[in-house]
Amino acid sequence: MPSNGATTEKNLVQTIHDTLFEEMKRDDRVLVLGEDVGARGGVFRVTMGFLDQFGEDRVIDTPLDECLIAGVGIGLAIDGMRPVAEMQFADFSFPGFNQIVQEAARIRYRSNGDFSVPLVIRAPWGGGVHGALYHSQSVEAFYAHVPGLKVVVPSTPHDAKGMLLQAIEDEDPVLYLEHKKTYRLIKGEVPDERYTIPFGQAAVRREGSDLTVVSYGLMHHYAVEAAERLSSDGISVEVIDLRSIFPLDIDTVLESVGKTSKAMIVYEDNKFLGVGAEVAAQIAEHAMFELDAPVKRIAGPHVPAMPYAPTLESWFMPSVDSLEQEMRKLAEF
């Protein structure tokens, strides 16, 4: 934490904007590239005002080609720049999938440590924003499966700042996921001074003794809210925000499960082979005999992606109400 302790209340998207802006002022190796990041300032306004401040050399409106954004970003990073690439929506990152998965992630390994790719890829992700099949997806499981990538999901403005700076400093490619619904919904105090938050450290946001709930992104906020409701009924829920999917801080999860003996993982991705599957498997491998109930996953149903109509969207998304119910059931198991 900063020495003078001064903070400012901001929402998540403003925090990302300010952090990136200040870092570009501080370090001229940092540049941004992506679709509409220049004149438009990004479709979510993350790079608003950047073009005026930093000029076209460092604020690059790319052609509409996500493969290009990733591939050119890799080249810039190899040559010593610190590119921060924006995928306009995480859903659109897939045309760049090969460049991210088989190039960025593998360049250090395949060159036996000769080359590295300090590239940040920012991507707005997640649902509950009427984004339907192609503006709502959770992509973290695809990318977290890949050795060589780091995948982080800050859920608070405080974390958004410290983890973005960590991502830019990191010597390896980082996929930095920003949940769209948290952009303006989630506000918090952000220290004015520069700080980083190391990856691979989950945060215990709420202590409890009956049940451990592990989540990230928007779902983390829903889990906290549901836990607050249950506390009036005497159910004590410990809520962990993973903050980073890879590296995964399983130790914090295991420690908590050792205390509560019950575990639930909440994520809005499809349940099958999602982050919850890995967390549940690791709990089974390392804490089986601590458990008093089966590990529970609350996640999206097995349909290709989130549908558009409000009735269908809310059918897909876990809600505070549904979490409250499920958490109560597990607590009472």
Partner 1 sequence: MVKGTDRHTELGLKEEDLLEMYRFMLLARFCDERQWGLNRQGKAPFVVPVSGHEAAQVGSAWAFERGKDVFCPYYRDLALALVAGFTPREVFLGLFGKADDPSSGGRQMPAHWGAKDRNIITGSSPIATQCLHAAGIALSKKLKRSDAVVGTWFGEGGTSEGDWHGAMNFAGIHKLPLVLVCENNQYAISVHVSKQVAGSVHGRAKGYGMPGVVGDGNDVLEAYKLTKEAVDRARAGEGPSLIELLTYRHYSHTSDDDDRTYRPKEEVDEWKAKDPIPRFEEYLKTVDVIDEGKIEEMRDQAKTEVTEQATDAEAADFPDPSTALDHVYAERVEVK
Residue 301: cis peptide before it, omega within 30 degrees of 0: no
Nearer to partner 1, 114 or 233 (CB): 114
Q: How many residues form the binding site for partner 1 (CB under 8 A)?
A: 52
Residue closer to partner 1, measured from CB, 97 or 308: 97
Exactly one of 17, 135, 158, 221 is catalytic; name it: 135
135 is catalytic: yes
Q: Is 102 in the site for partner 1 (CB under 8 A)?
A: yes
Residue 289 or 311 having the CB closest to partner 1: 289
CA pseudo-torsion sign 61, 62, 66, 67: negative
45 burial (CB, 10 Å; 0-12 / 13-18 / 19+) is middle
Residue 74 in the binding site for partner 1 (CB under 8 A): yes
In angstroms, what is the minimal distance from the CB of 253 to partner 1? 10
- The sign one gets for the Cα dihedral 208, 214, 219, 221 is positive
44 versus 143: smaller Cβ distance to partner 1 = 143
Burial annotation 15-37 (CB, 10 A radius, 16+ → b, else e): bbbbbbbebbeeeeebbbbbbbb
259 scored as a contact of partner 1 (CB under 8 A): no
Angle, alpha carbons 263-136-10 (nearest 5°): 80
* Interface pick for partner 1 out of 68, 133, 293, 320 (rule CB under 8 A): 68
Residue number with CB closer to partner 1 (182 or 252):
252
Q: Exposure of 232 by Cβ count < 10 A (0-12 exposed, 13-18 middle, 19+ buried)? A: exposed
Distance, in Å, from the CA atom of 276 to the CA atom of 271, rounded to the nearest integer, reads: 7
* Binding test (CB under 8 A) with partner 1, winner from 18, 103, 241, 268: 103
168-227 residues near partner 1, rule: CB under 8 A: 170-172, 200
- 109 in Cβ contact with 115 (< 8 Å): no
Phi, psi of 73 (to 5 degrees): -60, -40
In the complex, minimum distance from the CB of residue 289 to partner 1, in angstroms, rounded to a whole number: 16
Residues 27-66 vs partner 1: string with x where CB under 8 A? ----x-------------------------xx-x-xx-x-
Among residues 22, 48, 94, 116, the one that binds partner 1 under rule CB under 8 A: 116
Under the binding rule (CB under 8 A), the answer on residue 67 touching partner 1 is yes
Closer to partner 1 by Cβ: residue 82 or 180: 82
Per-residue buried b or exposed e for 58-77, using 16+ beta carbons within 10 Å of the residue's own CB? bbbbbeeebebbbbbbbebb
Around Cβ 289, how many Cβ atoms within 10 Å? 6
Q: Any contact of residue 233 with partner 1 (CB under 8 A)? A: no
Question: With binding defined as CB under 8 A, does residue 305 bind partner 1?
Answer: no
153 binds partner 1 (CB under 8 A): no
Number of residues assigned to the chain: 333
Between CA 155 and CA 164 the distance in angstroms is 12
φ, ψ (nearest 5 deg) of residue 176: -110, 105
Binding region for partner 1 (CB under 8 A):
31, 57-58, 60, 62-63, 65, 67-68, 70-81, 83, 95, 98-99, 102-103, 106-116, 147-148, 150, 170-172, 200, 246-248, 250, 282, 285-286
Catalytic positions, please? 135
